[in-house]
Amino acid sequence: KRKARQWFEKAVAEAKAERFVAAAEAFDASYDAIPAAATLFNAAWAYDHGQDWVRATQRYRSYLARYPNDADAAEVETSLVRVEAEVGELRVRVVGGRAPLVLRIGGELTELDGPPLVMLPGLVRVEVADATGQKRIEEVQLRAGQRSTVELTLAVMRPREGEGEGGGEGEGDGIEGPA
């Protein structure tokens, strides 16, 4: 409880000094210590005022998912609509290939079946690789307010004669997956 209060006080001081992203990060730390609707609201608000549209969107969505009936929900919904207009959303679907599949979006390892990614507009590099080393790369122009799904198709590779369904030696060579 003491830790949450310390982070909260630091967040308020940062917000008063108009260091909004630093304030939001401190509100996040306070929320992690003791989850409270007002603290999550304050984190979203501070990211919003710091023009960190991606994290503002994430926190506003989190707030509505966790506290849909809270007194501030209507205000949060209005703010969410406004900040969502500043970001894009990207979902990737992969067809074919041999497991395990590795997905990188903008150079970052990403969950294959995870939720759509909230991202700043711009050119985004999407790369998928499978256990055979087969890769597919596509660049996508993501616009503000756009929700886009990219479908990448990898050929379905049949095991070579003498290999079981699990593949042979060297399977996965050259693919860097999550550690």
Question: Is-above-0.85 flag for pTM?
Answer: no
DSSP string, 78-133: HHHHHHHTT-EEEEEEEEE--SSPEEEETTEEE-TTSPPEEE-SEEEEEEEE-TT-
Question: Is pLDDT of 80 > 50?
Answer: yes
Per-residue pLDDT tens over the stretch 22-39: 999 999 999 999 999 999
Highest mean pLDDT among 15-19, 92-96, 97-101: 15-19
Torsion angle of alpha carbons 57, 59, 63, 66, nearest 10°?
110
